[in-house]
Amino acid sequence: MSTSFSHAVGPPVMTGLVPGHCVAIQRLNAIVGEIAPTNIPVLLIGEGGSGKEAYGRLIHRLSKYCRAPFKKVSCRAVEAGEFLKQLKCDLRGNGKGPGDGPRTLFLDGIDELDLACQKVLLSLLPDAEIDESNTNGARLIASTSRNLEKEVETGKFRRELYFRIDGVGLHLPPLRDRREDISALLEHFLAKHAAELGRSVPRVSEKEMEHLGAHDWPGNVRELENLARKIAAFGEARKAIEELLEMPRLEQILPEEMPSSSLKVAARAASRRTERDLISKALERTHWNRKRAAQELQISYKSLLYKIKQTGLERKQGGTEGEERP
């Protein structure tokens, strides 16, 4: 069972954080500031690309062991014997002195370990939290994209191992649930990658930002950073965003304008028509109460407003201004 914290929400005071203004990220940053100086194990929970390793490294930088090594161990596609060998080295050092004190051990994708590797890990973990005199210990940070409580219930993850690594569970929200952060994140990544290339920061138009705001971001923050890297490389945003959205151009294309040889474009258009139909029916059912329609469609209110405008429904069904109907 993860430890829970209650905080007043305020701006993050730590350095090295990726920008974030949504309530969930500010709360997460506040918790990180509290637990980083401790020895308590941390379990980072989130979808792929949501920033689990970035937060693992941040916790290490803010900890008392920041001068010691940060050891990343991939738990994916690993065999028990090799895993044992790697863990012995990372947990116990090489016996040559200063570098062998407590360090941070980041177990990347711990949910990917089979039961044999889980047994190996459990056998090597220290019995208690490390302290200054423990020269063979490690501050444990693990990441998972699955619900380990459910994995325990189905017998896929060892219960005793789960309780050893889940001192504090931190949930990283997917980017689609923090769309208000997209602009700040993109600005941050554009500045970073433009500087690496020795170029000026490309401009992203308001219309292009609208498209990014409506994108579902299945790859989360990692996908957004990859987009920023492309924009910096191209020197402008349009081409990179078109590739992201898998569209031949940003403007909506009518079916008769599409080349018949492009299956990807045809599929995209069919998806848009289906999306438009679902939105239209939801709006009819709710008597154009857009908040209720957004709830039915399981998308954010802002995303629904954009999609109504994008598909032209507001022009055909009536204006979308004014108060919502009850």
Contact (Cβ atoms closer than 8 angstroms) between residue 110 and residue 144: yes
Residue in this structure with the two tokens 């803010």, named with its chain if needed: 62
Alpha carbons 162 and 151: distance in angstroms, whole number = 10
Contact (Cβ atoms closer than 8 angstroms) between residue 202 and residue 190: yes
Alpha carbons 142 and 160: distance in angstroms, whole number = 15
Segment 281-306, tens digit of pLDDT: 888 888 888 888 888 887 888 778 87
Query: Which of 55-59, 182-186, 197-201, 255-259 comes out lowest in average pLDDT?
Result: 255-259
Query: Which of 28-42, 127-141, 311-325 comes out lowest in average pLDDT?
Result: 311-325
Alpha carbons 249 and 146: distance in angstroms, whole number = 36
Reduced to 3 states (helix: H, G, I; strand: E, B; else coil), residue 71 is strand
Question: What rounded mean pLDDT belongs to the chain?
Answer: 79
pLDDT at 85: 85
Segment 29-55, tens digit of pLDDT: 999 999 999 989 999 999 999 999 999
Longest pairwise C-alpha distance within the chain: 75
Tokens of 144: 């998972």
Q: In which order are the strands placed within the sheet that holds 103-108? A: 70-74, 103-108, 138-144, 42-45, 168-171
Contact (Cβ atoms closer than 8 angstroms) between residue 71 and residue 104: yes
Question: Which residues pair with residue 71 across a beta bridge?
Answer: 105
Torsion angle defined by CA atoms of residues 42, 46, 51 and 53, in that order, rounded to the nearest 10 degrees: 40
What domains can be seen in the chain, in order of their start residue?
Answer: 23-173 (3.40.50.300), 177-245 (1.10.8.60), 255-313 (1.10.10.60)
